Amino acid sequence: MSWHVPEQLAVAYVDGAVQGARAASVEAHILTCPDCRSRVSAEAPGDRLADIWSGVVDEVDAPRRSWGERVLGAIGLPETDARLVAAAPTLRLSWLSSLTAVMVFAAWASNSTDRGIPLFLILAPVVPVLAVAGAYGPRVDPTYEISVASPYPTLRLVLLRSATVVAASGVLAVVASAFVPNGRVAAAWLLPCLALVSLTLLLARWVALPVAAFAVAATYALPLLVALVDGREVSSALLSPAAQWTAAAVALAALTVMTADPHLRAAMRRN
């Protein structure tokens, strides 16, 4: 371009009145002409330039959204919630790989050994509880100090992260169940899992979440594992209607107590 941008054209360009090829010509020219660039800049309001530059900086410096954030955003979770929830250590590849290895082992054992069925029934409900253990806490969460210092309800964060990691680990358990030869066994872990997770979240009101999760998991799994090692019958007890109804009652009681808490209801209503 051999001509320069006159003042009238500079004003029109800044106001957005110049479009199409003419606007492109102005933009191409001011990239190489310091005088015209200064003329156009002088017509632009200072606060508008600052806002534009701030937007550019925010866009460039913003961290790339993780797969977890994208999934949570797709199901309707606000961006601020999605970022905090996706930071849960249990949603990282190392944790998910460990949980997957446990479920693969349990599914393999159910097909390969005499003790495989009870072992699957013991391990499958515990996997989501172990996932909850890594959802929040000073020893497991690298963002713990930031979340504590931020004006965000801790209870809401714990519940959202717990729901997310239970869903993720539950998917692993469901996939593993597809490889269990007995359909009744493949579904029998669901109610105990719900009971264990509900108890964990209830106890987390008084103790740290990892402590609650490991205490509940150990209370459930260790006696059963000891009985299995001693050669006692475990499968029939875990598959019995009494055990399933007991698990359902425990889950219902724990969820009822939690939902009656006004602090929990207020946290979940937060916009």
DSSP 189-219: THHHHHHHHHHHHHHTTTS-HHHHHHHHHHH
Residue 253 lies in a domain: yes
Q: Same domain for 145 and 193?
A: yes
Residue 1: predicted pLDDT: 44
Q: What is the pLDDT of residue 50?
A: 65
Q: pLDDT 10s per residue in the chain (271 long)?
A: 457 888 888 888 777 777 777 878 887 888 788 888 888 877 777 666 566 666 655 555 556 667 677 777 787 777 777 877 777 777 777 788 888 888 888 889 888 877 888 999 999 999 999 888 888 777 777 777 666 666 677 777 788 888 888 888 888 888 888 888 888 888 899 999 999 999 998 898 888 888 999 999 999 999 999 999 888 888 888 999 999 999 999 999 998 988 887 766 666 665 4
Residue 1 resides in a domain: no
Helical ranges in 115-153 per DSSP H: 116-133, 144-149
**Do 126 and 99 reside in the same domain of the chain?**
yes
pLDDT, residue 55, reads: 63
Q: What distance in Å separates the CA atoms of residue 161 and residue 8, rounded to the nearest whole number?
A: 57
Q: How far apart are CA 128 and CA 103, in angstroms?
A: 11
Q: Are residues 92 and 206 in the same domain?
A: yes
Is residue 167 in a domain?
yes
Do residue 56 and residue 93 come from a single domain? Answer: no
**137 and 91: one domain?**
yes
Assess if residue 2 is contained within a domain.
no
Taking the whole predicted model, whether its pTM rises above 0.85 is answered as: no
pLDDT of residue 267: 63
Contact 126, 172 (CB under 8 A): no
Task: Answer whether residue 215 is part of any domain.
Answer: yes
Q: What is the pLDDT of residue 269?
A: 64
Distance of alpha carbon 233 from its chain centroid, rounded? Answer: 38
Residue 175, in any domain of the structure: yes
Other CB atoms within a 10 A radius of the CB of residue 177 amount to: 22
Using an 8 Å Cβ cutoff, are 172 and 127 in contact? yes
Task: Give which of 82, 50, 47 is closest to 67, Cα–Cα.
Answer: 82
Residue in 42, 48, 51, 6 with CA at minimum distance from that of residue 26:
6
Q: Which of 61, 76, 94 is the last residue of a domain?
A: 61
Output DSSP code: residue 5.
-
Mark whether 20 and 114 lie in a shared domain. no
Domain of residue 30 covers: 7-61
Asked, for residue 105, whether it belongs to a domain, the answer is yes
- Percentages (nearest 5) of helix, strand, coil residues in the chain: 75, 0, 25
Do 40 and 88 fall within a single domain? Answer: no
For 44-63, letters b (16+ CB in 10 Å) and e give eeeeeeeeeeeeeeeeeeee
Rg (CA), the chain: 28
- Are 151 and 171 part of one and the same domain? yes
Number of domains in the chain: 2
117 and 25, same domain (yes or no): no
Which of 36, 61, 86 is at the close of a domain?
Answer: 61
Q: Is 255 exposed, middle or buried (0-12, 13-18, 19+ CB in 10 A)?
A: middle
Kindly state the DSSP code that residue 78 receives in the 8-state scheme: -
- Whether 88 maps to a domain, the answer reads yes
Please tell me whether residues 167 and 263 are part of one structural domain: yes
Residue 82 and residue 57 share a domain: no
Residues 71 and 38 sit within 8 Å (Cβ to Cβ): no
Cα(first)–Cα(last) distance of the chain, in Å?
A: 53
For residues 112 and 236, state if they share a domain: yes
